């Protein structure tokens, strides 16, 4: 009985040791990890064939479980090139540029498939791409135009929300500029290549890159992204109107709309330009180098007279606000409470801002209404500042009289003490 028990013990020990051996061997051989023969070889290759594990692990597709074979076909479990890159395994190799949109659309245009990853993601990118200048030229056989990977990068595609993504709002202009600012690359197309340089001087660039407002316009805001096209001469104001609502509403009803349409001029762009839009100033209504009106209008004509009236009204209100601000500042520095008037000053500034919007009606009488309302508030604030200064002066005179009285009393006291000492 005892020898039989010993045999069982030996058998159990051998079984345990064997199992442990299998586990250790499995761990050494990487059992449980997916074999990726593609990355194992390509990570050691130079560009353009090199793709490292580190790079690919940044890709949103890798993070969602897709592998090299999802796009390139083949068999990643085999280290035999004739198998892993064989026709039998459906190996596609390098994807031809013309095939890229179709390949990406294989998943991205399938709502049922995409829903499992991001139910809110659009699936019309390919349809939109076909309407774009890029898509149309690609269909016509021009493989130099942008396809998906040119903007989204390849093998390290990050979601647009990632600040490192080439299509994150802060990086879009730079991404577009890689081709559009390359004069040699763009030569056959005969379009300007200074858009990026101009955009970098614009108020929109300032809002996006300096103020950090990610909703500020970049290339795709006006041109579209997958369906990128120039907005078209007669549609520019519709694009600008997405943000500049009041200006667009006023422009639509104005005399300029009809005139610009008749002349085939591109709405807002005529005065504000397109890529290099600067912060508007009252000088745009002047006759100096920043002035825009006199490019079309004649000196002394009816419109020029209206221009002079509008500009002088704005300058008058701006000056009145500055003057009232200065008076209030002096009163404040003298220790007077003028916070009520300071608050009212913001209403005067509101009127100035409104008047600058009302310019887009091109009616001097409407602008004047806003200007007069602002002037009334500024005059009241100026008066409040002056009243505060009058009160300050009265207080100072009172203080002076008190000090003189005290000084006379002290002098009297001193004389009296001297008299006693004698």
Which residues lie near another protein (CB under 8 A)?
207, 211, 213, 215-216, 243-246, 332-335, 339-340, 342-343, 346-347, 349-350, 353-354, 357, 396, 399, 403
Name 195's Cβ contacts closer than 8 Å, sequence gap at least 6. Answer: 176, 177, 180, 181, 219, 275
The CB-of-245 to another protein minimum distance in angstroms stands at: 4
Q: How far is the CB of 272 from another protein (least distance, A)?
A: 15
CB-nearer residue toward another protein: 29 or 333: 333
Q: Which residues, in sequence order, are CB contacts of 403 under 8 Å at separation 6+?
A: none
Q: Please, which residue, 226 or 342, has the CB nearer to another protein?
A: 342
How many CB atoms are located within 10 Å of the residue 295 CB?
Answer: 8
Q: Which two tokens stand for residue 36?
A: 């990726």
Query: Smallest distance, Å, CB 412 to another protein?
Result: 16
CB of 214 to another protein, least distance (A): 9
Shortest separation between residue 347's beta carbon and another protein, angstroms: 6
CA distances from 61 to 57, 215, 262 (A): 9, 26, 51
Nearer to another protein, 122 or 396 (CB): 396
Does residue 42 contact residue 49 with C-beta atoms inside 8 Å?
Answer: yes
- Could you tell me the smallest distance in angstroms from the CB atom of residue 343 to another protein? 6
CB closer to another protein out of 105 and 357: 357
- Between 45 and 403, CB nearer to another protein: 403
> Which residue, 131 or 206, has its beta carbon nearer to another protein?
206
Query: In the complex with another protein, which residue's Cβ is closer, 184 or 417?
Result: 417
Is the Cβ of residue 101 or residue 374 nearer to another protein in the bound state? 374
In the complex, least distance from residue 349 CB atom to another protein, rounded to whole angstroms: 7
* Minimum CB distance to another protein, residue 59 (Å): 32
Query: What distance in Å separates the CA atoms of residue 107 and residue 104, rounded to the nearest whole number?
Result: 6
Cβ proximity to another protein, 68 vs 277, nearer residue: 277
> Could you tell me the smallest distance in angstroms from the CB atom of residue 369 to another protein?
14
Which residues are within 8 A (CB) of 76 and not within 5 positions of it... i.e. 6 or more apart? 34, 35, 36, 37, 38, 67, 68, 69, 84
CB of 414 to another protein, least distance (A): 11
Residue 59 or 350 having the CB closest to another protein: 350
Query: 290 — phi, psi (to 5°)?
Result: -85, -10
């Amino acid at each position: 009985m005892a020898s039989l028990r010993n045999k069982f013990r030996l058998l159990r020990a051998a079984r345990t040791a064997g199992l442990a051996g299998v586990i250790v061997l499995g761990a050494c051989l990487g059992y449980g990890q997916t074999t990726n023969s593609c990355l194992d070889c390509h990570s050691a290759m130079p560009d353009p064939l090199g793709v490292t594990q580190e790079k690919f692990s940044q890709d949103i597709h890798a993070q969602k479980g897709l592998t090299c074979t999802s796009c390139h076909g083949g068999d990643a479990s085999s280290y035999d090139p004739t198998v892993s890159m064989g026709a039998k395994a459906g190996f596609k190799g390098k994807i031809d540029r013309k095939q890229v949109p179709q390949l990406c659309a294989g998943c991205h245009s399938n709502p049922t498939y995409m829903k499992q990853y991001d139910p809110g993601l659009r699936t019309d990118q390919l349809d939109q791409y076909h309407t774009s200048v890029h898509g149309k030229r690609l269909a016509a056989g021009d493989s130099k135009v942008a396809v998906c990977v040119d903007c989204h990068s390849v093998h390290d595609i990050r979601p647009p929300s990632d600040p490192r993504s080439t299509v994150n709002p802060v990086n879009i202009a730079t991404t577009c500029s890689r081709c559009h600012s390359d004069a040699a690359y763009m030569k056959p197309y005969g379009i300007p290549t200074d858009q990026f340089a101009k955009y970098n001087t614009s108020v929109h660039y300032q809002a996006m890159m300096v103020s950090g407002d990610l909703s500020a316009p970049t290339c795709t805001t006006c041109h579209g992204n997958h369906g990128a096209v120039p907005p078209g001469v007669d549609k520019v104001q519709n694009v600008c109107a997405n943000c500049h609502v009041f200006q667009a509403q006023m422009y639509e009803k104005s005399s300029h709309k009809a005139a610009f349409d008749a002349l085939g001029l591109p709405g807002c762009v005529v005065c504000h330009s397109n890529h290099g839009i600067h912060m508007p100033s009252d000088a745009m209504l002047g006759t100096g180098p920043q002035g825009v009106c006199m490019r079309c209008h004649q000196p002394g004509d009816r419109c020029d007279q209206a221009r002079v009236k509008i500009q002088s009204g704005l300058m008058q209100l701006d000056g009145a606000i500055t003057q009232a601000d200065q008076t209030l500042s002096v009163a404040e520095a003298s220790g007077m409470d003028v916070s009520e008037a300071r608050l009212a000053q913001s209403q005067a500034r509101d009127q100035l801002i409104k008047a600058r919007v009302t310019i887009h009606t091109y009616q001097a009488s409407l602008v004047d209404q806003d200007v007069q309302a602002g002037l009334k508030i500024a005059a009241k604030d100026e008066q409040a500042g002056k009243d505060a200064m009058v009160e300050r002066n009265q207080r100072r005179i009172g203080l002076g009289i008190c000090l003189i009285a005290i000084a006379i009393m002290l002098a009297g006291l001193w004389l009296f003490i001297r008299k006693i000492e004698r």
